[in-house]
């Protein structure tokens, strides 16, 4: 997992509430266990028409937002069934930050474990960011994890809270495996000592 420090990029406005995991990545695309290649199916049912062509009205199909790295979303993002493919698809598309007033717990946890930064803010601050995102590709936001600040295209700064442990993991690029490997010396020392003291195990 790559280190997360600062994102400066286009923010896409998606004010829909209750965007569930099946909307993020429909169930027919869950057969793979690969994290790559899912971005093309992100928001598949909203993003494509019945004939397979792009829906020109969907925000991520608009020229201004095709390279969006930040998503400003409505309330209760990531609700519905548990599927790790949802953050995989978002990350594979290029989304690195999602801002909402609330997230479903399982999606929230999965996002952090896959290098995404979900930020919870009050509605009035999400509204400010939503309006800024609606300006298009020329309105670039910055999200500074170390400083815990979002800066709008016109320089307005909004602070956000994050659990210190999750912040540390993102800054260091540590997923669950990385956290375990960081304790490799202690684990190897325990195994060596245990083998000496309890050879029958």
What CATH class does 6-173 carry?
A: alpha beta
Please give the pLDDT value at position 83: 86
Please give the pLDDT value at position 129: 98
The string of pLDDT tens digits covering residues 40-77 is: 999 999 999 999 999 999 999 999 999 999 999 999 99
Please give the pLDDT value at position 82: 81
Per-residue pLDDT for 149 more than 90?
yes
Please give the pLDDT value at position 138: 84
The string of pLDDT tens digits covering residues 73-90 is: 999 999 998 888 999 999
Segment 94-102 shows an average pLDDT of 98
pTM of the full predicted structure?
Answer: 0.86
Other CB atoms within 10 Å distance of the CB of residue 52: 6
Domain boundaries of the chain, sorted by first residue: 6-173
Please give the pLDDT value at position 179: 61
Please give the pLDDT value at position 124: 98
Instruction: Supply the mean pLDDT for the chain.
Output: 91
Q: In what order do the strands lie in the sheet with 97-100?
A: 117-120, 97-100, 70-73, 6-14, 140-144, 149-151, 157-159
The string of pLDDT tens digits covering residues 154-194 is: 999 999 999 999 999 999 988 766 666 666 676 666 677 76
Calculate what percentage of the chain has a pLDDT beyond 90: 73
């Amino acid at each position: 997992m790559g280190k997360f420090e600062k994102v400066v990029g286009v923010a896409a406005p998606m004010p829909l509430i209750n965007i569930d995991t099946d909307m993020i990545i429909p169930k027919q695309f869950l057969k793979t266990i690969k994290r790559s290649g899912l971005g093309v199916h992100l928001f598949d049912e909203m993003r494509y028409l019945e004939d397979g062509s792009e829906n020109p009205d969907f925000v991520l199909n608009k020229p201004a937002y095709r390279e969006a790295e930040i998503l400003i979303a409505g309330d209760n993002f990531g609700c519905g069934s548990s599927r790790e493919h949802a953050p995989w698809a978002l990350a594979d598309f290029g989304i690195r930050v999602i801002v909402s007033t609330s997230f479903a717990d399982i999606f929230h946890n999965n996002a952090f474990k896959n290098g995404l930064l979900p930020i919870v803010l009050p509605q009035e601050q999400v509204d400010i960011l939503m309006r800024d995102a609606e300006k298009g590709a020329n309105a670039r936001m910055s999200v500074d994890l170390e400083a815990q600040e979002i800066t709008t295209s016109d320089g307005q700064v909004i602070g956000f809270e994050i659990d210190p442990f999750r912040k540390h993991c993102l800054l260091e690029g540590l997923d669950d495996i990385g956290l375990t490997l960081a304790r490799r010396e202690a684990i190897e020392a325990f195994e060596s000592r245990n083998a000496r003291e309890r050879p029958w195990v």
